[in-house]
Amino acid sequence: MILLKFITNMGIRGKEQPVIRWSNVSKPAIGGLSLYVSFLLSTACYSIFFPASPLFHDTEALGIIGATALAFLMGLADDAYNTRPWLKFFVQLFCGFLLILSGNFIHFFELEYLNYGLTIFWIIGIMNSINMLDNMDGITATVSSFILLTCLSFLFINGNSQSFDFIVILGVLSSLMSFLFFNWNPSKMFMGDTGSQFLGMFIAAMGIKYIWNSSTFDGDSESTQKIFTVLIAFILPIVDTTSVVINRLTRKQSPFVGGKDHTTHHLSYLGLSDGRVAFVFLGLSVVSLIICIGIFKYIDTWRWYHSLILLSYFLIIFGFLFGFTQMNKDKR
């Protein structure tokens, strides 16, 4: 009976409150299940094909497995039973603690407790950003795919194609591509919090390992390289969330309450169809991927003009997308 109720409630908020963020039609929010199953299958495949490197000896891998499982369960519960925001926050906080305890934390400051604080902020921020970005067909799957492609490219360039992370990123990325086929406008299913919470946790962890802590960055400009690469790789979640938070705070509204005031929505208010909005985000994701690969592979010595060019790119994207949200203030 419990399982039957759970399946019936997937993607439903109460009896007469379907999960509708932008679409006028309620659809099953079960896409996240396939993403997590692919992650588990990839984990199993790694253990089968590389038995010489058992996962129970890899503390970092176990930390990621545990944190993503917790995020997945939180999303699953939220899709089925509409959990409280504070409970979601504490679960995200605990996910951050799990990563820190397993050695998956950002190495940026000389003082470790500052690194721990930055890691917690990063995990909670990205998990919520991906969750908030899941507001229109094809957007979150597209953006997340290119972030994972960035991490996968970094791994491939470094020759780590037989690592646990490479296998699971490849598995999740393949599942995302398949899901995108059903999630592209007009979609047949939604990702739901099940998918966005898991994805947010997973790409945040991969971002820590292969962007924040990339061994390629060194020298006096190491910190600058890290910051700009993170900004470019995660530009769309950062810009969308920042725009929404600024606009809601100026209206004296809570940033944590859902609404139709995201950058994607405002592009639609300008006359773009949902499919074209997805193509805009797809194009920006492709450009960001190319820039990140260029930073990683072709910049041997960081110069001041590299910072200027990348900062200009980030501010241009932020300026345009945030500017669009100011053009339709009456449509919130």
DSSP letters along 117-152, please?
HHHHHHHHHHHHHHHHH-SSTTHHHHHHHHHHHHHH
Using alpha carbons, select from 94, 103, 176, 187 the residue that is nearest to residue 142.
176
Band of residue 189 on the pLDDT scale cut at 50, 70, 90:
confident
Tally of CB atoms within 10 A around 250: 9
- CA torsion sign for 301, 303, 306, 311 is positive
Quote the CA–CA distance of 151 and 155 in Å, as a whole number: 6
Torsion angle in degrees (nearest 10) through CA of 101, 130, 254, 284: 130
Question: Does residue 212 contact residue 107 with C-beta atoms inside 8 Å?
Answer: yes
Question: For 109-118, 151-160, 306-315, which range has the lowest pLDDT when averaged over its residues?
Answer: 151-160
Query: Domain extents for the chain?
Result: 2-6+29-327
State residue 18 phi and psi, 5-degree precision. -65, 155
- pLDDT mean over 86-112: 94
Instruction: Residue 98: name the closest of 129, 135, 140, 69 by CA.
Output: 69
Determine what percent of the chain is predicted with pLDDT higher than 90. Answer: 53
Average pLDDT over residues 290-303: 89
Residue 205 exposure: Cα atoms within 13 Å on the Cβ side: 31
Per-residue pLDDT tens digits for 35-94: 999 999 999 988 888 876 777 778 999 999 999 999 999 998 887 777 788 888 999 999
Q: What are phi and psi of 28, to 5 degrees?
A: -60, 130
Give 194-240 pLDDT, tens digit per residue. 899 999 999 999 999 999 998 777 767 888 999 999 999 999 999 99
Residue 122 CB neighbours (<10 A): 22
pLDDT of 214: 83
Q: Answer whether residue 120 shows pLDDT above 50.
A: yes
- Residue 208 to residue 214: CA distance in whole angstroms: 8
Is residue 146 packed enough to be buried (19+ CB in 10 Å), middle (13-18) or exposed (0-12)?
buried
